[in-house]
Structure formats: C-alpha cells, structure tokens
C-alpha cells in the first residue's frame, strides 16, 4: 500500500496512506459533515485500512444514523466518539489522564476514549485541583509510574506546572474552555501553560482531548519502533 494513496470522494479526499505513514488511519473530525458523508468516509477507511477508525465530536443523533448504516461500530456518548475496530493488542503504553475539575470531564473523556481506542492503557484521575495540593500529591507515585501524563485543566491551568515539576516523563497539557471572565474561554489557560515554569511541558489546542491522545500515540508509536 503506497503511503500517498488517496481516495477521491468528490466532497473529500480520503488519506488512505496515512496508516502506513503514521501507524493509524486518518481520524474523521465530525462537525460540519453530514451523516451520509461520515458513512462514506468511514466505509472507505474500513475497507482500505486495518487499524481503528475514529470519528470525533459526534452527537447522539448522528451517531445513531451512522452506526445503523456502518455495522460494527460503537459510540461513547460522553467523549462524543464513534469507533470501529480496536487494535489487536494494547501497545503496552501507560497513559495517565489527570483533570483539574469536574468541568473538565468531557475533554478528559475524549482524551481517554481516543487513547484507549488507539491501543494505549489509560488511567484517569479526576478533580485534582491545585487549590487542594494534597489531591495531586497523593497520586504522585501513580503519575511517576506513567509513560506519559495528559493534564486537562481550565481556569488558570496551574495543574500543568505542578505535575510538570513532579514527574520526569512527557507532560501534554490540554487547556480547557471552562471558567468565566478572565478565563477567556481557555485562552488564559493556553497562555499560562506555555509560560509555565516547569521545563519541557508541551501544549495542545484548547479542549483538544483528541489532540493530546494523538500526541501520546505518536510517543507510543515512535517508542515501539525503537529496538
């Protein structure tokens, strides 16, 4: 299979070669697509790829429609994720998803669901706000045992700095658009995570649990290639 192979569906050019290039079929971003378009793209991907096929940010109604036409899939309502096929076996990569408050739940759910779908072993820890520091300190060893930690936090995003100082493994920070006023719909958390005093933290887009999971997949995929 050629790494540059493309299926032309007129409304979409399905990147069939991505699985060979990056170890994972192209993931489909749901918003703005009709159920019919999603069905067509998913059908292409299932036929010509062998790995998990994902559609993100799908509402329940669309999910029901698509699942009725493309059998074998499942829907995770909290994460908004449609999924066909899981990896044959987990890749043996321990990911911990830590979130700062119950408001961050749905973003953490997307990160967890996508990461699980692509074969990572995911543990989640909720409500680890830095205003009660003992909550993060009591899971310190669990964080340190992870291959990677995803930190999901809105408001001021300080949890990323705190976790970044506790562990030596990669920390992927996800700013969340919760909060009000000076939170600026996640912009403040995004900026604060970039300005963090903890060295080597990386950041993905606001609310992008998907992006964090895909970044973790890149780590796992690259790690597996190495002898």
- In the complex, the smallest distance separating the C-beta of residue 168 from a copy of itself, rounded to whole angstroms, is 4
Q: Which is nearer to a copy of itself, 73 or 164 (CB)?
A: 164
Figure out which of the listed residues 80, 119, 186, 209 binds a copy of itself, where binding follows CB under 8 A: 186
Stretch that binds a copy of itself, among 58-66, 71-79, 82-90, 213-221 (CB under 8 A): 213-221
Q: Is 95 in the site for a copy of itself (CB under 8 A)?
A: no
CB contact at 8 A, 177 and 209: no
CB contact at 8 A, 84 and 53: yes
Stretch that binds a copy of itself, among 58-66, 70-78, 81-89, 129-137 (CB under 8 A): 129-137
Q: Is 205 in the site for a copy of itself (CB under 8 A)?
A: yes
- In the complex, the smallest distance separating the C-beta of residue 61 from a copy of itself, rounded to whole angstroms, is 19
CB contact at 8 A, 66 and 73: yes
Q: Which of 126, 142, 115 is nearest to 215 (CA)?
A: 115
Stretch that binds a copy of itself, among 45-53, 60-68, 70-78, 187-195 (CB under 8 A): 187-195
Q: What is the DSSP letter of 85?
A: -
Q: Which residues of 100-132 are buried (b: 16+ CB within 10 A; e: fewer)?
A: bbebbbbbbbbbbbbbbbbbbbbbbbeebbbee
Q: Which of 170, 109, 120, 126 is nearest to 144 (CA)?
A: 170
Q: Is 170 in the site for a copy of itself (CB under 8 A)?
A: yes
Q: Is 47 in the site for a copy of itself (CB under 8 A)?
A: no
Q: Is 198 in the site for a copy of itself (CB under 8 A)?
A: yes
Q: Is 91 in the site for a copy of itself (CB under 8 A)?
A: no
Strand, coil or helix: 116: helix
């Amino acid at each position: 299979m050629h790494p540059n192979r493309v299926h032309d569906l007129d409304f979409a050019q399905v990147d069939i070669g991505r699985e060979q290039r990056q170890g994972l079929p192209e993931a489909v971003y749901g918003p703005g697509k009709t159920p019919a378009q999603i069905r067509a793209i998913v059908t292409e991907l299932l036929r010509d790829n062998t790995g998990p096929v994902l559609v993100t940010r799908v509402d329940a109604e669309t999910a029901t429609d698509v699942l009725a036409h493309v059998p074998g899939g499942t829907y995770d309502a909290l994460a908004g994720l449609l999924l066909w096929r899981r990896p044959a076996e987990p890749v043996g990569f321990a990911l911990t998803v830590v979130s700062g408050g119950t408001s961050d739940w749905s973003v953490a759910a997307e990160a967890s669901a996508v990461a699980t779908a692509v074969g990572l072993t995911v543990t989640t820890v909720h409500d680890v706000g830095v205003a009660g520091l003992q909550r993060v300190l009591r899971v310190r060893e669990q964080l340190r045992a992870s291959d990677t930690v995803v930190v999901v936090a809105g408001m001021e995003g300080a949890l990323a700095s705190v976790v970044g100082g506790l562990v030596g493994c990669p920390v992927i920070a996800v700013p969340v658009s919760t909060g009000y006023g000076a939170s600026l719909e996640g912009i403040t958390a995004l900026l604060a995570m970039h300005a963090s005093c903890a060295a080597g933290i990386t950041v993905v887009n606001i609310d992008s649990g998907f992006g964090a999971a895909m970044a973790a997949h890149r780590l796992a995929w690259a790690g597996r290639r190495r002898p």
